[in-house]
Structure 1
Amino acid sequence: MTTLGNGTILDPEVYFAASLLLFALTLLLILIVWIKLRRMKKRYKQLLNGTSSTNVEELLIGMQARLDGFQEGVSHYSKAIDELQEQMKTSKTKVEVHRYNAFHHTGSDLSFSIAIVNEYQDGLVLTGIHSREETYLYVKPLEKGQSKYALSPEEKHVIGLTASKKE
């Protein structure tokens, strides 16, 4: 028998029974964890080995291969888009019209200038000058917004309108 400091006596049999109970509870806890771990391991093997209709490892490998293919496709399309953007810069997409009265003694704005240029201001300006008796048409080529032919103020104005136009 063992005596504690406050006078309580511990019987060795009670001490042994408590230790045995604690040991049994520990074994039971280890057994439960072992069973759960075994179930988890079994599910993991099923998942990777493909005992079901789908093998996850093969599925992941296939998805990675498809992703690589998509990345190659995106690269190809990105390059094609860049090429199209460069081609668009040289397309004559900016068009402006300016109507005006070339001769102040006539009654309306029947004269006109039309500028048709690309992003670099290359293209042409078409001018129609209308009088009572006849109409004259002039076409002047443009390079960087300039022409080797003299430009009228109206032609310069319509070219300036295309320069400020945002596409």
Structure 2
Amino acid sequence: MEVQTVSKFVLNNVLYLIGGLGVLVIVMYAIIIHLWMSLSYMKKQHKKIMTGATGDNLETMLVGHIEKVKAVEEENARIDHENKRIDTLLQQAITRVGVVRFCAFENMGSDLSYAVALLDAHDNGVILSSLFGREDSRSYVKPIENGHSSYTLTKEEEEALHKAIASASAD
């Protein structure tokens, strides 16, 4: 009896069932069209990825980029080596300077005498001193090793040396 009831229902509602199936077919076609368009878009994107602006394929592009990265690494290593060489040279260059101007003799006018300390990063260098008088001017050079001189320094030379050493902490 149930089979007959179902058969009667189908016969009585054939138009509705056909209409419902038609709507279902239209929805399925819409889904298929949407999927086809999505697939087409994905194919275009895939093609863009697989070919570069010059038409190269992905493998050729990757090999080219890897070669460029290796070249950059080599250049970076060369620059790093050069930087270390320059740093070593800079350690020996005069980078610390202290200057003191003073009047060497009383009643002699302005501060024309001076002491200049010129040091490298290891506090090695020289102190240049000039004493200016009415009749003449005398210059002295005293070596400095590790911040000390084997010669006796005047108070002005000591002050110039301390200024030069202190300029290292200002860096």
Normalised to the residue count of structure 2, the TM-score between the two structures is 0.75
Q: State how far apart, in whole Å, the 2-side matches of 1:136 and 1:52 are.
A: 75
CA offset at residue 122 of structure 1? 0.8
Residues 98 and 162, structure 2, Cα contact 8 Å, conserved in 1: no
Report what 1:103 is aligned to: 105
Q: State how far apart, in whole Å, the 1-side matches of 2:101 and 2:52 are.
A: 79
Structure 2: 5+ residue runs without aligned partners? none
Q: State how far apart, in whole Å, the 2-side matches of 1:114 and 1:53 are.
A: 64
- Give the number of equivalent residue pairs: 160
* Aligned with 2:85 (options 83, 105, 108): 83
The one-letter amino acid of 1:90's match is Q
Q: State how far apart, in whole Å, the 2-side matches of 1:153 and 1:52 are.
A: 73
Provide the aligned C-alpha RMSD in A: 2.9
The one-letter amino acid of 2:156's match is E
Describe the SS at the equivalent of 1:70: helix
Residues 52 and 61, structure 2, Cα contact 8 Å, conserved in 1: no
Q: Which has the higher contact order (CA 8 A, sep 6+)?
A: 2
Is 1:43 equivalent to 2:44 in the alignment?
yes
Q: State how far apart, in whole Å, the 1-side matches of 2:130 and 2:119 are.
A: 18
Report what 1:119 is aligned to: 121
CA offset at residue 150 of structure 1? 0.8
Report what 2:29 is aligned to: 28
Report what 1:128 is aligned to: 130
Describe the SS at the equivalent of 2:116: strand
CA offset at residue 123 of structure 1? 0.4
Identity over aligned pairs, percent: 22
| Higher percent of residues as helix | 2
Residues 62/136 of structure 1: CA separation in 2 closer, same or farther (3 Å cut): same
Q: State how far apart, in whole Å, the 2-side matches of 1:51 and 1:22 are.
A: 44
* Aligned with 1:92 (options 85, 91, 94): 94
Residues 50/87 of structure 1: CA separation in 2 closer, same or farther (3 Å cut): same
